[in-house]
């Protein structure tokens, strides 16, 4: 959620008031964090009441790729899954052009991120992730995860020159292991469907609430679906576990958090025996995916306002940890 394409209120005021039924634009401000798109909080006023949305300008995804993500979000929202819902203009469109680039407006979810989650937060995420997977079973569109094996194979040669010998060995050996895994009959038979593929702590919101003297968080929702794709549900779960269930050393898995995530997930959608057997390799796949992308963003960056590339060493350590399981 960096800003590659600056937007001012004057750039969109007439567009918002003429093309949408969400009131008059009153404020727009860039969102810090993330590295793919230009994101903004958009406030409007309608009937004297403030309304909040998120405006995204897509920097890498094409107008041909975007309907999958936006329609998936609309499908899940209509199924009762707490995700941002794309806003239609007067013509019923949910994908637009702004400053010559594809753009969309979605509803803003309530709540805040919990970047230091406890087991209770992990349990809420596991339950809703399983519900999201099942809710997407009848989603009619298919689009591969664009950051899966094919992308790793193209990107690894680009980042290898920047690495030391041990890093090169780790990266090439793990890529070979995943190529073998992905070509196996076991992998081919794993359940799949629409998957978020990037359900990190900063892509989930919790709405603080209280009941009497008890204060607890409710799940506000999942957002940032722009890495989503048709993928193995186990991969989605592994990506989530690798971020939500870290021990204090920030590389190993914390048993209490992991149990909370997996138990609530399986209470909704039990894992198959093939998924259980594939779990260690899929955890490694999730770690590899984000190590490769962070190496790419770190060594081959793009210019952007408010952009801070993530440290690739974080997922290198996680991959080393997962290979020891």
Residue 156 lies in a domain: yes
Q: Which residue has the tokens 């779990």?
A: 279
pLDDT band at residue 303 under the 50/70/90 scheme = low
Tokens representing 80? 């009762």
Q: Is residue 200, in this structure, part of any structural domain at all? A: yes
Looking at the fold, whether 267 and 139 belong to one and the same domain comes out as: yes
Q: Per-residue pLDDT tens for 120-140?
A: 999 999 999 999 999 999 999
User: Residue 3 falls within a domain, yes or no?
Assistant: no
Count structural domains, the chain.
2
Domain boundary among 51, 74, 107: 107
- What is the CA angle 179-184-185, rounded to 5? 160
Q: What is the mean pLDDT of the chain?
A: 94
**Residue 125's pLDDT is what?**
98
Q: What is the pLDDT of residue 310?
A: 84
Q: What is the mean pLDDT of residues 251-271?
A: 98
**% of the chain with per-residue pLDDT over 90:** 88
pLDDT of amino acid 306: 44
Residues 142 and 86 in one domain: no
Q: What is the pLDDT of residue 35?
A: 62
Q: Are residues 86 and 137 in the same domain?
A: no
Strands 38-46 and 24-30: antiparallel
Tell me how far apart the alpha carbons of residues 13 and 5 are, in angstroms, rounded to a whole number.
17
CATH of the domain at 300: 3.90.1200.10
What is the predicted pLDDT for the residue at 53? 98
pLDDT in tens, 27-38: 999 987 656 789
Altogether, the residues listed in the chain come to a count of: 325
158: its two tokens: 């680009």
Please say if the pLDDT value at position 116 is more than 50: yes
Lowest mean pLDDT among 92-101, 113-122, 301-310: 301-310
The answer on 214 and 170 residing in a single domain is yes
Same domain, 166 and 215: yes
Label residue 2 by pLDDT band (50, 70, 90): low
- For the cut 80, the answer to whether the pLDDT of residue 213 exceeds it is no
Contact predicate 136/72, CB 8 Å: yes
- Give the residue from 42, 40, 37 showing the smallest Cα distance to 53: 42
Query: Residues 90-109: what's their mean pLDDT?
Result: 96
Asked if 284 and 163 sit in the same domain, the reply is yes
pLDDT of residue 32: 76
- The stretch 54-69 carries a mean pLDDT of 93
Angle between helices 273-299 and 233-244 (to 10 degrees): 60
Question: Is residue 279 a part of any domain in this protein?
Answer: yes
Q: Whole-angstrom Cα distance, residue 226 to residue 73?
A: 10
Q: Which residues of 125-150 are buried (b: 16+ CB within 10 A; e: fewer)?
A: bbbbbbbbbebbeebeeebebbbbbe
Last residue of a domain, one of 107, 130, 162: 107
Instruction: Give rounded-to-5 percent helix, strand, coil for the chain.
Output: 45, 20, 35
Least confident stretch, 63-77, 103-117, 181-195, 214-228: 214-228
Percent of the chain with pLDDT over 70: 94
- Domain range for 309 is 119-323
Neighbour count for residue 315 (Cβ, 10 Å): 24
One domain for residues 156 and 288: yes
The token duo for 254 is 């914390």
pLDDT at 197 over 50: yes
Asked if the structure places residue 172 within a domain, the reply is yes
Q: Say what the pLDDT of residue 307 is.
A: 55
Q: Does residue 302 register a pLDDT over 80?
A: no
Both 173 and 242 in one domain: the answer is: yes
214 pLDDT exceeds 60? no
CA–CA distance, 314 with 136 (Å, rounded to integer) = 31
Instruction: Show the 3-state SS of 33-102.
Output: CCCCCEEEEEEEEECCEEEEEEEEECCCCCCCCHHHHHHHHHHHHHCCCCCCCECCCCCCCCCEEECCEE
Q: How many angstroms separate the CA atoms of 112 and 19, rounded?
A: 30
Mean pLDDT, range 228-233, rounded to an integer: 98
For residues 124, 130, 132 and 134, what is the CA-based torsion angle, rounded to 10 degrees?
-150
Give CA–CA dist 58/38, Å, rounded: 6
Question: CATH number for the domain including 24?
Answer: 3.30.200.20
Domain assignment present for residue 1? The answer is: no
Mean pLDDT of 54-73: 94
Any bridge partners for residue 71, and if so which? Answer: none
The more confidently predicted of residues 323 and 1 is 323
Region 140-162: mean pLDDT is 97
Q: Are residues 228 and 128 in the same domain?
A: yes
Boundary (domain end) residue, out of 107, 140, 174? 107
Tell me if residue 93 falls in helix, strand or coil. Answer: coil
**Helix, strand, or coil (residue 63):** coil
Mean pLDDT of 94-104: 96
Pair 81, 135 in one domain: no
Q: Is 56 exposed, middle or buried (0-12, 13-18, 19+ CB in 10 A)?
A: buried
Q: 14 pLDDT exceeds 90?
A: yes
Q: What is the spatial distance between Cα 145 and Cα 6, in angstroms, rounded to a whole number?
A: 28
Q: Is a pLDDT exceeding 80 seen at residue 305?
A: no
């Amino acid at each position: 959620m960096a800003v590659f394409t600056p937007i001012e209120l004057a750039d969109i005021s007439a567009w918002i008031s003429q093309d949408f039924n969400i009131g008059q634009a009153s404020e727009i401000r860039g969102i810090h964090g993330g590295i793919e798109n230009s994101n903004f909080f958009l406030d409007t006023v309608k009937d004297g009441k403030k309304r909040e949305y998120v405006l995204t300008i897509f920097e890498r995804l094409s107008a041909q790729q975007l309907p999958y993500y936006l329609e998936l979000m609309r499908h899940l929202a209509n199924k009762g899954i707490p995700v941002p819902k794309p806003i239609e203009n007067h013509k019923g469109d949910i994908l637009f052009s702004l400053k010559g680039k594809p753009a969309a407006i979605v509803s803003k979810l309530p709540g805040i991120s919990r970047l230091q989650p406890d087991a209770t937060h992990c349990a809420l995420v596991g339950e809703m992730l399983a519900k999201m997977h099942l809710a997407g079973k009848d989603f009619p569109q298919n689009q591969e995860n664009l950051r899966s094996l094919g992308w790793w194979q193209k990107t690894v040669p680009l980042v290898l020159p920047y690495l030391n010998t041990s890093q090169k060995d780790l990266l090439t050996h793990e890529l070979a292991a995943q190529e073998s895994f992905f070509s196996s009959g076991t992998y081919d038979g794993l359940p799949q469907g629409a998957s978020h593929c990037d359900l990190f702590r900063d892509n989930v919101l919790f709405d603080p609430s209280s009941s009497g003297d008890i204060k607890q968080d409710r799940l506000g929702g999942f957002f940032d679906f722009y890495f989503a794709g048709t993928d193995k549900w186990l991969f989605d779960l592994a990506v989530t576990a690798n971020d939500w269930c870290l021990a204090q050393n920030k590389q190993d898995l914390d048993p209490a958090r992991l149990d909370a995530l997996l138990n609530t997930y399986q209470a909704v959608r039990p894992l198959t025996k093939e998924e259980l057997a594939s779990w260690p390799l899929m955890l490694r796949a999730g770690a590899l995916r984000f190590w490769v992308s962070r190496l790419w963003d770190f060594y081959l960056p793009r210019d952007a306002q408010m952009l801070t590339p993530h440290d690739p060493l974080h997922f290198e350590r996680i991959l080393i940890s997962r290979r020891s399981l």
